[in-house]
Amino acid sequence: MEQSTADGLQAAGVRRSFGNVVAVESMSLNAPRGQVTALVGPNGAGKTTLLLVLATLLVPDAGEVSVAGFDPVGDPASVRARTGWMPDSFGSYETLTAREVLEFVAAAYRLPAARRAERAGELLALVHLSEYAERPVHVLSRGQKQRLGLARALVHDPPVLLLDEPAAGLDPRSRIELRALLRGLAGDGRAVLVSSHVLAELEETADRVVLVDRGRTVSQQRMADLDLGQLRPWRLRALDAAALTAALDARGVDHGPPSPAGVEVLLAGDAAAAELLAALVQDRVAVVSCAPVAGSLEAAYLAMTESRR
Amino acid sequence: MSARTALSGVLTMAGHEFRLRLRAGRWRWLLGAWFIALAVLLGLMRLALVRSGEEEVGTPMLGGLMLLVLALGLLVVPALTAQSVNGDRERGVLATLQTTLLTPLEIALGKLLAAWGTALVFLAVTLPLVAWCMFEGGVAIGRVAITLLVVALLLGVVCAVGQCLSALLARSTTSAVLSYVFVFALTIGTLVVFTLAVAATTEEREVQQRRFEYTTQIAHPERVWWLLAPNPFVVLADAAPRVEPELNRRGRPERSTVDPLGAMGDAVRETRESDQGDAFASIAPGDREPGGPVWPYGLAFNVALGVGAVALTERRLRTPYRSLPRAVRVA
């Protein structure tokens, strides 16, 4: 059955407990096709449990779930055929080569025999592991295994991707490549759900963010809407720090002490920053940089977890 | 889903698992040790038979060999499957397998096939020794085929039960220990329970024989013979076709050769005979009910056990999980 492109991933009021430990109390999220949705929350917030429900491994105690238009409990096979899942921690068949692992997974997803070797080659190239194709998995580094895990999730070209901490253990170059890869996958019309702690990464990758804490969805919004009207620190740097602080004082903008990194000011969003910058340029201050001290995602995350401390 | 898809799923799983097994172990050494141990024992057996004046050594050699193969097989095989499922979970590869399109039954059967196949490799390595027995002469081909088949089936049952335990229990060490306990129960356990049961069902009866009056004890093995039936050695011995008795000079049937399997089989069948306790009645031949074969019951019991084990494994592999056993993580 062909699904419309609107069918990404929807979950509403999902609840799951293990014995008397409630792992997920009430989580809702929406991951539309063509977008990268970030699932963000502290350790133990229930992210992995939610992903296990979406990946057809756990029956939720309550709630409605639809993955690619199918119910993971009622019709797990249809969901599996359309979902690529990469767990947060996973093992691998250490004695097999990278190519053999992917060919087996391809067979397990019932790709025709003639297509398996070809698909394994494509995926190895995609995650830059071609030169390790014939090497046993146990010689791969952690980051390389992580990339193999991602390739594994993509074997059957699924329209929905569930990636649990895909950036863990990746070196800076691999992270940048992962970012481009995720954007590309979403660009092909896939629904990509990524959980991660590396907020700076998600900031540049995600279209939407779902903040979760203690088993509940705290908020769910577009990244662009994240910091509307919220005061947060920005850092300004100019060729002449004294001129900068003088200009700020003249305009009555509260600021912190000058440091080699620059001067911090509190601003409410991008528009306010642009306005201040224009004014400073008008005052002939040679500003060389103006950027938020922390990403908007980090700020939202810190605001959410404030109460925990 | 078509049967063809399912078969290819099973074969995919079996091929994968077999390759993992092949790369993991030092099979050459293990199989070599297995072969040498059996060859040395068989050689000793032949020497002993020849020295004791036996003329046809083929039949007793084959019987002894098959009993040895079964005994060693029962020692090796539990280790093959005791970690099939929980070992995969511990290594973090089970959940990603369960989210593929392979069904739980395909996973269970594929894994079993690979383990059983490994056990059969051990059996195949003993084929040259079987050929040696046949070369000695006097061994019917049917006897060879049936004993090999029975041993193969019994090893398969142990594989299935071990795999089932690995699916039921969270820790692979626990399931390994329990697999060996299972083999112990099947071999020694049945024997102990049978012996105790015979003692427990023994009756005392007053017998009056002309002027003598005495109390005699009557055992009733025919009430509890089935306790012995599941024993793999009993199944093997009793299933082996009997050596045709030759007629002696008086025209009476007489078994000329020593046959360990046949002797064991006869002993087991005797337990099915009802002894009414009439001490003198048994003198007249034909009065006693002949004991029927025991192996069909034993083999059926074991095969049912194996099928049940696979069914239970399949159930435990089904996802999504509603409830999880204690100490089990999904992924």
Are residues B99 and A104, on separate chains, in Cβ contact within 8 Å? Answer: no
Whether B23 shows a pLDDT value over 80: the answer reads yes
Residue A85 DSSP symbol: E
Q: How far is B11 from chain A (nearest CA, A)?
A: 10
Minimal Cβ distance to A91: which of B5, B9, B93: B93
Mutation choice for B interface testing from A16, A48, A50, A58 by most B CBs within 10 A: A58
Domain extents in chain B:
3-243+257-316
Residues in B touching A72 (Cβ below 8 Å): 320
Residue-level pLDDT at B246? 66
Mutation choice for A interface testing from B4, B19, B97, B99 by most A CBs within 10 A: B99
Gap between the terminal Cα atoms of chain B: 27
Mean pLDDT (whole number) for A145-154: 94
Are residues A72 and B320, on separate chains, in Cβ contact within 8 Å? Answer: yes
Minimal Cβ distance to A89: which of B5, B92, B99: B92
Choose among B237, B197, B204: nearest CA to B221.
B197
d(CA B283, CA B329): 67
d(CA B268, CA B201): 17
- Mean pLDDT across chain B: 88
Minimal Cβ distance to A110: which of B93, B96, B101: B101
Minimal Cβ distance to A18: which of B99, B100, B324: B324
Strand A231-238 vs strand A287-292: parallel, antiparallel, or unpaired?
A: antiparallel
Residues in A touching B92 (Cβ below 8 Å): 87, 89-92
Residues in B touching A55 (Cβ below 8 Å): 99
Q: Between B277 and A252, where is the model more confident?
A: A252
d(CA A88, CA A44): 13
Q: How far is A37 from chain B (nearest CA, A)?
A: 22
Q: How far is B22 from chain A (nearest CA, A)?
A: 10
Q: Of the given ranges (A270-279, B190-199, B200-209), which has the lowest mean pLDDT? A: B200-209
Are residues B331 and A52, on separate chains, in Cβ contact within 8 Å? Answer: yes
Minimal Cβ distance to B101: which of A89, A104, A108: A108
The band of B287, judged by pLDDT with boundaries at 50, 70 and 90, is very low
d(CA A232, CA A300): 10
Residue-level pLDDT at B210? 75
Choose among A92, A55, A60: nearest CA to A70.
A55
Choose among B110, B111, B107: nearest CA to B83.
B111
Residue-level pLDDT at B251? 67
d(CA A97, CA A105): 13
Residues in B touching A52 (Cβ below 8 Å): 330-331
Cis preceding linkage at B320, omega within 30: yes
Residue A48 DSSP symbol: H
For the four alpha carbons of A108, B88, A73 and A214, in that order, the dihedral sign comes to: negative
Are residues B93 and A107, on separate chains, in Cβ contact within 8 Å? Answer: no
Span A97-108, pLDDT tens digits? 999 999 999 999
Query: Cα-flanking dihedrals φ and ψ of residue A194, to 5°?
Result: -125, 125
> Residue holding tokens 């096709």?
A33
Q: Of the given ranges (A112-121, A299-308, B130-139), which has the lowest mean pLDDT? A: A299-308
Range from A262-266, B42-46, B327-331 that averages highest in pLDDT: B42-46
Residues in B touching A152 (Cβ below 8 Å): 96
Hey, what are B298's tokens? 């034993």
Rg (CA), chain B: 24
How many contiguous H segments (helices) and E segments (strands) does chain A have? 10, 12
CB atoms within 10 A of CB A218: 18
Mean pLDDT (whole number) for B18-26: 90
Looking at chain B, which residue has its C-alpha nearest residue A81? B101
Hey, what are A227's tokens? 């910091």
Cβ-based neighbours of B208, under 8 Å, separated by 6 or more: none
CB atoms within 10 A of CB A126: 17
Minimal Cβ distance to A59: which of B23, B98, B321: B321
d(CA A21, CA A18): 5
Mutation choice for A interface testing from B13, B100, B107 by most A CBs within 10 A: B100
Residues in A touching B101 (Cβ below 8 Å): 77, 80-81, 108-110
Are residues B320 and A100, on separate chains, in Cβ contact within 8 Å? Answer: no
Residue-level pLDDT at A103? 97
Whether B295 shows a pLDDT value over 60: the answer reads yes
Listing DSSP states for A211-276 in one string gives EEETTEEEEEEEGGGTTTT-EEEEEEEES-HHHHHHHHHHTT--B---BTTBEEEEEEHHHHHHHH
Q: Between A228 and A21, where is the model more confident?
A: A21
> Residue holding tokens 């034993």?
B298
How many angstroms from the chain centroid is the CA of residue B20? 26
**Bridge partner residues of A58 (DSSP):** B321
Residue-level pLDDT at B252? 66
Cβ-based neighbours of B296, under 8 Å, separated by 6 or more: none
Q: How far is B318 from chain A (nearest CA, A)?
A: 9
d(CA A211, CA B284): 91
Query: Cα-flanking dihedrals φ and ψ of residue A276, to 5°?
Result: -60, -40
Residues in A touching B106 (Cβ below 8 Å): none
Q: Between A233 and B163, where is the model more confident?
A: B163
Range from B49-63, B82-96, B238-252 that averages highest in pLDDT: B82-96
Q: How far is A46 from chain B (nearest CA, A)?
A: 14
Residue-level pLDDT at B57? 87
Interface predicted TM-score (ipTM) over 0.85: yes
Choose among B241, B232, B305, B307: nearest CA to B69.
B232
The band of A1, judged by pLDDT with boundaries at 50, 70 and 90, is very low
H, E, C per residue of chain B: CCHHHHHHHHHHHHHHHHHHHHHHCCHHHHHHHHHHHHHHHHHHHHHHHHHCCCCCCHHHHHHHHHHHHHHHHHHHHHHHHCCCCHHHHHCCCHHHHHCCCCCHHHHHHHHHHHHHHHHHHHHHHCHHHHHHHHHCCCCCHHHHHHHHHHHHHHHHHHHHHHHHHHHHCCCHHHHHHHHHHHHHHHHHHHHHHHHHHHHHHCEEEEEEECCEEEEEEECCHHHHHHHCCCCHHHHHHHHCCCCCCEECCCCCEECCCCCHHHHHHHHHHHCCCCCCCCCCHHHCCCCCCCCCCCHHHHHHHHHHHHHHHHHHHHHHHCCCECCCCCCCCCC
Minimal Cβ distance to B99: which of A73, A80, A91: A80
Vertex B65: Cα angle to B61 and B71 (nearest 5): 150
Q: Of the given ranges (B190-194, B210-214, B221-225), which has the lowest mean pLDDT? A: B210-214
User: What number of C-beta contacts closer than 8 Å exist between A and B?
Assistant: 80
Residue percentage of chain B with pLDDT more than 70: 89
Q: How far is B5 from chain A (nearest CA, A)?
A: 8
Whether A21 shows a pLDDT value over 50: the answer reads yes
The band of B283, judged by pLDDT with boundaries at 50, 70 and 90, is very low
Mean pLDDT (whole number) for B236-257: 74
- 3-state SS class at A93: coil
d(CA A151, CA A133): 12
Mean pLDDT (whole number) for B38-46: 95
Are residues B12 and A80, on separate chains, in Cβ contact within 8 Å? Answer: no
C-beta separation of B103 from B9 below 8 A: yes
Q: Of the given ranges (A43-47, A137-141, A143-147, B209-213), which has the lowest mean pLDDT? A: B209-213
Residue-level pLDDT at B274? 67
Query: Which helix or strand (DSSP H or E) is residue A100 part of?
Result: helix A98-108
Hey, what are B180's tokens? 């060996």
Q: Between B272 and B72, where is the model more confident?
A: B72
Query: Which helix or strand (DSSP H or E) is residue A164 part of?
Result: strand A160-164
Looking at chain B, which residue has its C-alpha nearest residue A101? B16
**Bridge partner residues of A221 (DSSP):** A209
Whether A199 shows a pLDDT value over 50: the answer reads yes
Mean pLDDT (whole number) for B29-36: 94
Residues on chain B bordering chain A, Cβ-to-Cβ distance under 8 angstroms? 5, 8-9, 12-13, 16, 19-20, 23-24, 91-93, 95-102, 319-322, 324, 330-331
Are residues A89 and B331, on separate chains, in Cβ contact within 8 Å? Answer: yes
Q: Which residues of B23-45 are buried (b: 16+ CB within 10 A; e: fewer)?
A: eeeeeeeebeebeeebeeebeeb
Whether A18 shows a pLDDT value over 80: the answer reads yes
Residue-level pLDDT at B281? 44
- Mean pLDDT across chain A: 89
Q: How far is A60 from chain B (nearest CA, A)?
A: 8
Residue A207 DSSP symbol: S
Residue-level pLDDT at A92? 87
